[in-house]
Amino acid sequence: MPLLPADPTVLHPVPGQPRVVQLKPLVTSPLIEVGEYSYYDDPDEPTAFETRNVLYHYGPEKLVIGKFCALAEGVRFIMNGANHRMDGPSTFPFPIMGGSWADHADLLAGLPVKGDTVVGNDVWLGHRAMVMPGVRIGHGAIVAAGSVVVDDVADYTIVGGNPARLIRTRYDEKDIARLLAIAWWDWPAEHLTRHVRTLMSGSVDALEAAAPHRHDPSQQDRES
């Protein structure tokens, strides 16, 4: 009997746990891109992720989340729309309040722009972590609970605190390079299914040996 992978189109993938939602079949905003199998866990309103967890998202900057990411309850993404001018005596955004103040909308044109917020593949964001505008979080990174991420996070590192700082790297530089080359998150789902145990508890050597091209005779011929 063939091994069937999990279904990335199911909104609630965990039986009896409506608090867990896969984000790809949930999001509707063209400004949010999410890869397959990434999920959010919240006991209250998990399906309100776009409005409760992605804040001040007035565009055009995007939020991009990779595949196989785990987002714990209360994770928040602060987008560029939260920025205020800081080059004058007041930071108050007078034009948005209407009336004759709206005639000065040009004053909002100079707001700081940080660009897209990008979360790599296989990233774990802990309970109530907050990600600030324009941050890029690398593949395989872990953000500790309660952290405020204000700077980019390197691949396969663990960060924590406010502001978040490096706690440690998960692998040495050589193995990180190997993991990035393996890019297991791009493997066919059927192949992933055969190697779940290696992914969750194996070594980098074992994962490298399990890569699809290692089992493709045509690819091996090209490499020999």
Catalytic residue list:
84
Cβ neighbours around 132 below 10 Å, total: 19
CA distances from 222 to 24, 63, 183, 214, 216 (A): 36, 39, 20, 11, 10
Phi and psi of 216, rounded to 5°?
Answer: -105, 105
Q: How far apart are CA 28 and CA 49, in angstroms?
A: 11
95 token code pair: 């034009």
Length of the chain: 224
